[in-house]
Every structure is written in C-alpha cells, then in structure tokens.
Chains A and B, each alone.
Chain A
Amino acid sequence: MTASPQTSGPAPGATRLVDLFEHGLDAPICLTWELTYACNLSCTHCLSSSGRRDPRELTTQEAKAVIDELEAMQVFYVNIGGGEPTVRADFWELLDYATAHHVGVKFSTNGVRITPEVARRLARNDYVDVQISLDGATAEVNDAVRGAGSHATALRAMRNLADAGMTGFKLSVVCTRHNIPQLDEFKALADRHGAQLRLTRLRPSGRGADVWDELHPRPEQQRQLYDWLVAHGDTVLTGDSFFHLSAYGQALPGLNLCGAGRVVCLIDPVGDVYACPFAIHDEFLAGNVRRPGGFTGVWRESELFRSLREPQTGGACASCAFYDTCKGGCMAAKFFTGLPLDGPDPECVQGHGERLLARRPKDRGHLPKPSGDHSHRTTPARGRGPVDVVLARRPDRDRPPVGDCVEHPLAGMVLPRDGD
C-alpha cells in the first residue's frame, strides 16, 4: 500500500482510487491540448490535405490565459499536439510560459525538428518531456504506415536526444497487428536510447474506424499483448490504454477507468473542450475556453462532464465477471464503431464486441458522422504560415484520423496500481 496509513482498519468511505476518481476531480490530472491544425508534414496516414492554420485558433494571449488557469487548477501537465505544434511561431514561448508556471509540457513529434540543438534545449528543462512516435521497429513496418524515411527520422531524433543527455523520453508506439510481433524489438530500441517505451491502443476514432478494421490487433494478438504487458509491468507505460485487456485475468498497472471528463480532457486549437482526445464529436463537446468561466467553468460546470461523472450502469456488461476492471472498455471506441456506450468494447476479450460488430449493417452509413461546422473546409493556402513549411491540416476535424498526433493524456504517466 502506497502512501496510505490505513493499513490497520478500513478507511472511511471509498478506498480504491478508481472509486474516488470515478466521480471526477476538481481539475484534470493532465490534458491534451492541440495547439494548431497546421503541420509541417503531409503524412499520408494523417489523411489530411494541405491547408493552413485555422484563423480562429487561440492567440498567444488566449493560450497564456488558459495556462494561467491550468496553473491555478494545479493541472500537472499538458500533452501538446497538433498538427505539428512546433510550427506555431509562439510554440517555444508557450512552452517556456507553461513550465515557468508549473505546468509541465509533454509534446509528441515525428522527430523531424529534433535537431541536436533543440535536443539540448529540451534536455535542460526538467518540466518538458518528449515523445517520439514510431509505429514499427523496422523501417519496413513503420514506413508502410508513416511514410518513407519516417523511421530514419525518428531514430535520428532519438539519437539526438540521447546524445544531449535526455533520459526517459518516450518512444511511443500505437499497437497494430503489424507491430505486435515487434514488442521486444521496441523495448530494446527504447533501452538502447535511454528512452521509455509506451504502448497505446489503436482507437477507431472518427474516420480512423476504417483504418481500425484493417490494423487493430487480432484476438490472439490481444492475448499476446496482455501477457507481454503483465511480464513487463511498470517498465512499460500504457497510460491506462489497455484496461479492457484486464478481463484476461489480473488487472494491468493503472487506474483501469475511462478518464474522459473525469481525469482527462482535450482542448482543441479553437478552444473547444472535449471529454477525451479520442472523442472529438459534438456528442462529447463540453464547451469552449473562450466563454465566461473559461476552462475552469467548462471542467466544473459542464452538463456533459457532470453526466460522465455519474455512476455508469454496466448495461450488457453489468453481469460480466470482469466488469470491475474492464468497465466495458473505451467509450470512444464504442461510439465510433457504432456500438452502444453501455455495452461491451469492440475489442472485448470475451468476443462480445466482435459479435456485435458482425451484426452491424454492411454499409457504414450508421456510424457517427462529422457534425457541426468544425471542419472549416477552406481552400488550402500555402506559404502563409508562420514558418516556411508546407502546411497541412486535417480536412475533417470531427472525425480525426488515427495517427501519431492523437495523444491520450495519461499515456506518459506512471499510474499507481489500484489498491496501492
């Protein structure tokens, strides 16, 4: 038992951390903040077409006001993503502002900008963490998904970080059926660079649903992944990604709960607040940081967040012996595959999800569609950005693709094992 003096006798009220967190916290533990839609690359797997940053993106002053709020709320850190956040002209300014205000920053990158000089700068700041995305341990597997040369780029970035003396940065892998056989290789790669491996789940968010059908681990691979995670314990981070696998037996390290609106959330470039970075859809839109009350008001008062913090009924899962740890899995995964939110996860290890998926109509017309005007489709403009790069944006914000830009807020965090 960690840090608890309650060894002799039952504690008053709830004692499991998960039970306390289920009702939500006064502030998120951490959150994902997509600073910009702009990107310096045009990754094919990002499924985006060229574009420019949204004119309505938060200004530097507005972004700083959000950071002030996060400081006051004592949010431990933000995961900054995009787009490629470093193409915002004020990226380094915001990064310094956040860390000076005790809000840690973790940012994900394809590595293209991690030069030796940038690496040295990052290594000097204890409150910055970097995450290099790689989806294959070999160029062959990685580049098929992430584009030619991207394996070499990521490895160069890792070498630069290691040479700059940065330790414990993250090698971030989204698990697919093609890279699950490479888990040991990823681990060795991370170890060689003094990095920490983090594995996350491929989620069928938005348009990624189609990619998901072809890429998500096969049932026997899920078992393989689970056994591997159990064997490696705390040395590999998962940020609570795989709690649906807990139904194989022993719970994995982590909170084992859907943190959406309870301990995590997403702020998008125009200031909209969603329950989770994988739940970008009007259904999970809680408010906007520009409204009176700001981010704090959204977090504490939004009807949506309040309802997510209500005790959830297990629905079809309620009678399952593993409900206690599996909790029916990922809300976003269910939503975007068209399954009921109070039933089993599409990747339910008992196969219930698969059976439901098989019963869906053949055409995908029933799946959640982009809604609202979030996509702001405009004619792509070139050369107007703050830096001289080819700017790309996701054409369709309500159904973001599954890619390295999608980041789970808890992914880099070493979570307490429940009951610790």
Chain B
Amino acid sequence: MTALNLDRAWDLHPQVSVRPEPFGALLYHFGTRKLTFLKDRRLLAVVQALATAPTARAACSAAGVDDEDMPRYGQALAALTRSSMVVERNRIP
C-alpha cells in the first residue's frame, strides 16, 4: 500500500461531510455517495487539521502523531485519497 506525500498540503474534498462518532468518525461524500469511516479519533484530528496545516505531516504532528506512527497515518490518508475523500490542496498560497 502506498502512502501519500506527507510533505504536501491536503484537504478534505469540499463535498465531504464529517460526523464525529465515539469510535472515530463517519465520512460521507456527496459527489460519490460513498460512506466511509475513521476508526480512530486521532485520525479524525489529523483529517480536521489538514485544511490549515502547511503539510499533512504538520497536520499529523498537530494531532499528536509521533514519528513512529507517521507512516501508518500516511497510509490511512492515502486510502482516503483513493476514495476522493481527501484531495491535494491547491499549492497557490
């Protein structure tokens, strides 16, 4: 499984709605009608931090992900990009 480039800026797709749940979160994409879920509250914090963080790595750090766990979160984010839940952010500042 490939990870996404943690040193780029990412964001939730604008048509994705995020609903926090005790186990993590539910995500619904209004464009693809896909439902998915995050099984982990920290991943939710990462996803929520994406919009304002300069890079995905910074979003992970802000959410308290340590270096050892970084690759796993990278993979989880990559999975979210495959279903278009997470998209690369325009790099124009």
A residues with a Cβ closer than 8 A to B are 1-8, 11, 13-15, 17, 20, 25-27, 29, 74, 76-77, 102, 104, 126-127, 129, 168, 412-416, 420
Contact = CB atoms under 8 A, between A and B. Distances in A.
Interface in B34-93: 34-40, 42-43, 69, 72-73, 75-76, 79-80, 83, 85
B40 A416 contact: no
Nearest to A106: B33
> On chain B, which size bracket covers the interface?
20 to 34
Contacts of A4: 38-40, 43, 76, 79
A3 B33 contact: no
A416 B73 CA distance: 19
Contacts of B27: 3
B24 to A, nearest CB: 8
Contacts of A11: 39-40
B90 to A, nearest CB: 19
A127 B30 contact: yes
Given A2-B83, A3-B79, A7-B72, A416 B23 contact: no
A415 B79 CA distance: 15
Contacts of B79: 1-4
Contacts, number: 86
Give me the 6 closest cross-chain CB pairs, A-B, nearest first: A76-B28, A5-B72, A74-B19, A414-B34, A5-B76, A4-B39
Contact of B33 (A20, A74, A412): A412
A257 to B, nearest CB: 13
Question: Which secondary structure dominates where chain A touches chain B?
Answer: loop
Most buried by A among B31, B39, B43: B39
A76 B36 contact: no
Nearest to B42: A5
A5 B33 contact: no
B39 A6 contact: yes
B63 to A, nearest CB: 11
Contacts of B28: 29, 76-77, 104
Nearest to B46: A5
A5 B40 contact: yes
B15 to A, nearest CB: 6
Contact of B35 (A6, A127, A414): A414
Interface centre among B21, B30, B73, B79 (most CB of A within 10 A): B30
Contact of A5 (B31, B32, B69): B69
A25 B34 CA distance: 18
Contacts of B32: 414
A102 B17 contact: yes
Contacts of B73: 5
A118 to B, nearest CB: 20
A8 B40 CA distance: 14
Nearest to B70: A5
A126 B76 contact: no
A29 B75 contact: no
Given A3-B38, A5-B73, 4 more contacts: A5-B76, A29-B28, A76-B35, A414-B32
A102 B17 CA distance: 9
Contacts of B69: 5
